[in-house]
A and B are shown apart, each in its own frame.
Chain A
Amino acid sequence: MTGYLVRRAGQMVLTLFLIFTFAFFLVQAQPGDYASFYALDPDMPPEVKDQLRASFGLDKPLWEQYLIHLKNTVTGNFGVSFGHFPRPVMDVLIERVPRTAVLFLTATVLSFYIGFFLGKAIAWRRGGVLEYTATISGATLFTVFTPAFALMMIWIFSFRLGWLPVGKFLDPLVWRHAEVTANHVFGQMLLTAFLLTVFAFLALWILRKTGRVGLTRWAGPLIAVAAVVALLLLSLSGIGGLALDILKHMILPIATLTLISFAGTMLLTRNSMLETVREDYVMAARAKGLPEKLVRDRHAARNALLPVVTSLVYSLIFAIDGSVIIEGVFSWPGTGLTLLQAVRTEDLPLVMGAMVFIGLFSLLAHLIVDVLYVYLDPRIRYQ
């Protein structure tokens, strides 16, 4: 397993290198260069323009530029953003990456669970009303024109009903007298969520290890109590109101992203289930007299899970793409919105930086899914 991970990490580095090289030469293939962005001013004398080009290192031969660029990228220096001058690209991205990660990870996990449960149900009872409604509404949501759908959600929930804020990351009125920065509050929220998840997994794992069914039943209440304690601690720490404000802004983008992406998992689970329900072990389980629900969940669905997990990588990519659109519509200041704004203002260093980060997201997602696969299917052993 360790050897496999090392090899996969090596492959990832190679892939990133290829993406980087491709991106570099794509930019080089453009007419003009970084300096021409500043040198468009007609009042600028030619020697100043040359000076400018030299300060960017654009007077050097191409291969040298490439090597310098490579060295800078490896050391995390993507240059200075044109649009956010004088902030470095890395600084802008570090601030925004967690926001995107939260958005698309939460939405992917939610849509995976919803899709899996629905898919299981519709495969078990074919031809019912549920199958037609779920398939048609799921496929419609899956193929719906995302921006229009997102705008519709805003219109219904923020404009008409007034339940949720219209967009953006926070409400300036709430934050006017705040003494901490939004990044600090968001960091605390992330930390809480992360610790809670680790606790939940550990609790489940330890209770399972004891091998007593009676104990496993206590996992749910235990995790719920931990969640309540964590929320209490967060609200007592004085930033509860601010955290709640950010949370309120998160609900609508996450809900929209979940709604548009659960159908992929649902339809795949359905197909996969249709194959497993014909297997002999399902008939054997039925013949043993096990309850239908148990046969469905433990025997058919558990084996149908494998191809669905394989496709999780597709749904993660779908969610990353979706989060670019969702961020654009909801003005959620994550990597996607940064990419869009950078593209619109031709802020090339930021475009390249954002693209490298989005590529990194998807490669990491790919790796996690592969590792998850080993855990789910004991027959698979990576050498």
Chain B
Amino acid sequence: MITPPNFPPPGSASDPPVVEVGHSRLRLLIARTRLALHSFRAGWSIFMESRIGVLSLVIIGVFAIMAVAHPILMLTIWDAETYDPVTGYAFDQVDQPSAPSWRHPLGTDPLGRDVLSQLLWSTRSEFVLGITAALVTVAIATTVGAVSAYYGGLVDVFFMRLADLIIALPGISLLIVLSALFKLNLFYLALVIGILGGFGGTAIILKSQALSIKVKPYIEAARVAGGGHFHIIFVHIIPNLLPLSLLYMMFTVTSAIFAEAVLSFLGLLDLRMSWGIMIHTANTGGYLMGGTRYWWLVVPAGASITLLCSAFYLGGRALDEVVNPRLRRRHD
């Protein structure tokens, strides 16, 4: 329930209006938070109904714990000389790569570095990459979608043609070309993926959603009440686009992690360590055709890429059922 704002009685105009405005704003904020919490709870219960959604959440949670675990382990039981993901060397092993043992639960790589440490260290950068790319995408796509739906005309034509152009470009191939020209590190990679995603397909989808919001009565009401263009776009249209944006954030994370892994596997990125680089190291050493003999060089990293990508992807699909009511199963 939203409590109506308390209007001052007609006689008491002595109160300074500034305080009154601040007060009602606070009430508005509380009411909005309550509404948001309420719709979040409703959405959450639909999300948790889908088994796939829960599964994806569990997988993402496990990876988040892995990302947090690395610095803690480095500070407590792992010494930097042996366990550093890039410069460490397992002096306690005779042969490199060595099979999993108690000291090295996932063995060591051909250069004598602990595989588990590399795996955990990379988890953090995958999250950073995915989330940065997703935030950039969503920030751009939401703004572009709202602006081109609201103004229409030339602005709309420009952004939509640009989106068509970007959709028509194969992203991995473009990133491969860019890697030949620039030193791509994690941040630039996230930026490029985010910009490509934001001006590309996501902008079209968010624009079509914004078009249906634009004709809602509350937008008209806001305009009648004297709201400017900026106010209407950022206060009324964009907040209503956010659920759908969240959905496309999930898909962007998947594509960002995947692109990073592929480019690292091909040895084209300027990174210290990542899951793709772990497989690259094993592959260039010729250990992959050994099949199951050197499984710890490729299975943990390959499975991590696949699991985290599919977790975000499946999470996105479960979220799709929350955002798009037509996909829900009927309870009858």
Other-chain residue from B171, B173, B201, B261 in contact with A355 (beta carbon distance below 8 A): B173
Which of the segments A75-83, A236-244, A336-344 contacts the partner chain? A336-344
Complex interface residues of chain B between 261 and 317 (CB less than 8 A to chain A)? 261-262, 265-268, 275-276, 279, 283, 288-289, 291, 298, 301-302, 305-306, 309-310, 313-314, 317
The interface residues of chain B lying within 8 Å CB-to-CB of A144 are 306, 309-310
Count, chain A residues at interface, CB 8 A: 56
A151 in contact (CB, < 8 A) = yes
> Known: A151-B283, A351-B180. Is A325-B298 also a contact (CB below 8 A)?
no
- A160 with B310, Cβ < 8 A, contacts A27-B181, A147-B262, A355-B177 known: no
- The verdict on A321 contacting B279 (CB below 8 Å), with A139-B310, A159-B291, A267-B317 known, is no
A324-354 vs B, CB cutoff 8 Å, 1 = contact: the mask equals 1100100000001001101110101001000
| A/B pair count, beta carbons within 8 Å | 128
- A343 B168 Cβ-Cβ under 8 A: no
> Which residues on the B side are within 8 Å of A336 (C-beta)?
173
Decide if A139 touches B181 in the complex (CB within 8 Å). no
Is B268 touching A343 in the complex (CB atoms < 8 A)?
yes
Closest A-B pairs by Cβ, 10 of them: A148-B302, A143-B309, A145-B305, A343-B180, A321-B172, A143-B310, A320-B170, A321-B170, A144-B306, A147-B265
Tell me the complex Cα distance, A340–B267, Å. 10
Which stretch (A168-176, A211-219, A359-367) binds chain B? A359-367
In angstroms, Cα B128 to Cα A234, docked, is: 55
Q: Does A136 contact B (CB under 8 A)?
A: yes
Taking the closest CB of chain A, its distance from the CB of B200, in whole angstroms, is 10
Chain A CB within 8 A of B216 CB: no
The CB with the most chain B CB atoms within 10 A, among A139, A155, A267, A346, is that of A139
A58–B258 alpha-carbon span in the complex (Å)? 39
Complex partner residue of B180 from A143, A148, A346, CB under 8 angstroms: A346
In addition to A143-B310, A151-B298, A339-B177, 9 A-B residue pairs with Cβ atoms within 8 Å of each other are: A15-B168, A29-B181, A146-B262, A148-B305, A313-B167, A339-B173, A343-B180, A351-B180, A362-B169
Binding site for B on A (CB under 8 A): 15, 18-19, 23, 26-27, 29-30, 126-127, 132, 135-136, 139-140, 142-149, 151, 154-155, 159-160, 267, 271, 274-275, 278, 313-314, 317, 320-321, 324-325, 328, 336, 339-340, 342-344, 346, 348, 351, 355, 358-359, 362-363, 366
| A343 and B313 contact, Cβ closer than 8 Å, known pairs A140-B306, A145-B261, A148-B305 | no
Report whether B314 and A139 are in contact in the complex, using a CB–CB cutoff of 8 Å: yes
Interface contact B170-A159, CB-CB below 8 Å: no
Residues of chain B within 8 A of A358, CB atoms compared:
170, 173
